[in-house]
Amino acid sequence: MKPKTQETRKFEKEYEEWIRSAARDVASGLRKLEPARIKNIMGFYEKCSRNPSSMYEEIQSERERVQGLVDLKGVILLTTEAVIFSPSIFTQRESYFDYAIAMNRRYYLDSWFTIITINKAYLRLASDTMLKYTLLHELYQKEMYEIRLKEGLRLFKPEEKRLINLEAKRKSIDVSGITEEELLREIELMLSLTTTFPLVPKPFAETCLFRYLEENLDKLKGLGNKSSLDSDEKIGKTLYSDFIDWIDFSLEAYRLFLGELKRELDFTYLEYGYG
């Protein structure tokens, strides 16, 4: 593991402060739910803490539907109960989150693996057009980040992330043919899911996804792609090394998140038998 720089330590300290604050906001939302639903969500959090890869599972009944909407050749499709959240790239206000009911990631483990995850309820409730729009948005963002990575590894600033997000959104609206009415319904559905499903910090969700890939690598090897250029291979090895160094922090940050949730929900725990 690489020694941490002063800049890295500063970032981690600031992120830990943010994740505690985020946990308090999440707990505030949980208190509005029925006790049985709170218990179910907390059970999900605990399960993922013990076994991170359990956050994801293969898409079964909806696989043909999803693959029929866009070209997903070579893409690993997974589903999860979680809605992913992260500090907003659209506002500087601490209590504002960016939510994701779908997530696209590309990991390197001797080969490149592209994975798209989708929230279970969204997959069930979204129309075909809404789902196609969401999948295209993830794929277009993937393409844009890959193009920029070929220019050299670097951190993406919030402004650049915003531009990528907005450009991918514009393209996915055009290609999917989603109407303004459906787009509004898509936003309403996503916001509804953020109030009733487990909200999981993005770094932990990424770590869980990496663990899933590691544990299922033998089964998924046929979906990996070898680097076509030496430069791609170098980028892949660097990304792998950086991510391995990041995993411990993401696990620690999640434990902070879960611990703060438990403290905030102490009365609920005592009343309904969690603790």
Confidence of residue 156 (pLDDT cuts 50, 70, 90): confident
pTM listed for this prediction: 0.90
The arithmetic mean of pLDDT across residues 250-265, rounded, is 95
pLDDT value of residue 11: 86
Token pair, residue 243, equals 């991510």
Residue 265 in any domain: the answer is no
pLDDT value of residue 271: 52
The arithmetic mean of pLDDT across residues 169-177, rounded, is 97
Q: Please report the DSSP string for 197-219 in residue order.
A: S-EEEHHHHHHHHHHHHHHTHHH
The arithmetic mean of pLDDT across residues 151-158, rounded, is 72
CA 187 to chain centroid: 17
Residue 27 in any domain: the answer is no
Residue 15 in any domain: the answer is no
pLDDT digits (tens, 9 = 90+) for 204-235: 999 999 999 999 999 998 899 888 877 888 88
Element at 75 (helix H, strand E) = strand 75-80
What are the φ and ψ backbone dihedral angles of 163, each rounded to 5 degrees? -65, -40
CA 41 to chain centroid: 17
Res 2 pLDDT > 70? no
Q: What percent of the chain has pLDDT over 90?
A: 66
* Least confident interval from 7-21, 179-193, 258-272: 258-272
Q: Closest Cα to residue 43, out of 59, 56, 55, 61?
A: 55
SS3 of 87-138:
ECCCCCCCCCEEEECEEEEEEECCCEEEEEEEEHHHHHHCCHHHHHHHHHHH
Q: Closest Cα to residue 178, out of 228, 229, 134?
A: 134
pLDDT digits (tens, 9 = 90+) for 91-140: 666 557 999 999 999 999 999 999 999 999 999 999 999 999 999 999 99
pLDDT value of residue 214: 95
Residue 223 in any domain: the answer is yes
The arithmetic mean of pLDDT across residues 79-87, rounded, is 95
The whole-angstrom separation of Cα 36 and Cα 196 is: 12
* Least confident interval from 30-44, 75-89, 204-218, 234-248: 234-248
> Count of domains in the chain?
1
Q: Identify the domain containing residue 105 by its residue range.
A: 53-249
The whole-angstrom separation of Cα 37 and Cα 32 is: 10
Residue 59 in any domain: the answer is yes
Confidence of residue 154 (pLDDT cuts 50, 70, 90): low
Residue 232 in any domain: the answer is yes
What are the helix (H) ranges across the chain? 6-30, 35-50, 63-69, 120-125, 128-149, 158-176, 180-194, 202-215, 217-220, 230-264, 266-272
Residue 20 in any domain: the answer is no
pLDDT value of residue 95: 59
81 neighbors 44 (Cβ within 8 angstroms): yes
pLDDT digits (tens, 9 = 90+) for 64-75: 899 899 998 889
The arithmetic mean of pLDDT across residues 178-204, rounded, is 96
Residue 32 in any domain: the answer is no
pLDDT value of residue 274: 47
